[in-house]
Amino acid sequence: MILPAIDLQNGQSVRLYQGDFTKETIISPAPVKQAKEINAAGVYALHLVDLDGAKVGFPKNLAVIKKIRAEFTGLIEVGGGIRSLDTIETYLAMGIDRLILGSVALKDPAFTKQVLAKFGPERIVIGVDGTDGKVAVDGWLKQSEVTMATLIN
């Protein structure tokens, strides 16, 4: 399955240089149009990351993601700033197919297990990011002391 990614920052599609929020390259100022172009190319799955949300701990690009969902035909998964049941229910109600939990999996394992049990592994997945074998959190802004292997197990 091809799963192109659109990373969202300030409502635009961007790429960060080595995860540095101050070193962004704007890919498209119109991510909804970008998503439609991906669809038109015959791709029916999309990975969206709310970079601003990952940084602050709650969705910041929700309006753009909602517009993309309305225009994109196919599976959409979203990550970044998903740390509450309300956020999960909001995304699922708007038709997002799969949600990626990252920082919250490390910071609140009980919550993570609860939502996995409630919504299932088809809707909730765990994303483990890191460097040098250690888990990174909060949009890669902080490095934990927990190893990736420990979190995965």
Catalytic residues: 7, 129
55 touches 139 (CB < 8 A)? yes
Cα–Cα distance, 148 to 133 (Å, whole number): 6
64 touches 8 (CB < 8 A)? yes
Cα–Cα distance, 97 to 5 (Å, whole number): 15
Number of neighbours of residue 41 by Cβ within 10 angstroms: 10
Helices in 18-147 by DSSP H: which ranges?
31-40, 51-56, 62-71, 85-93, 103-107, 109-119
DSSP state of 101: E
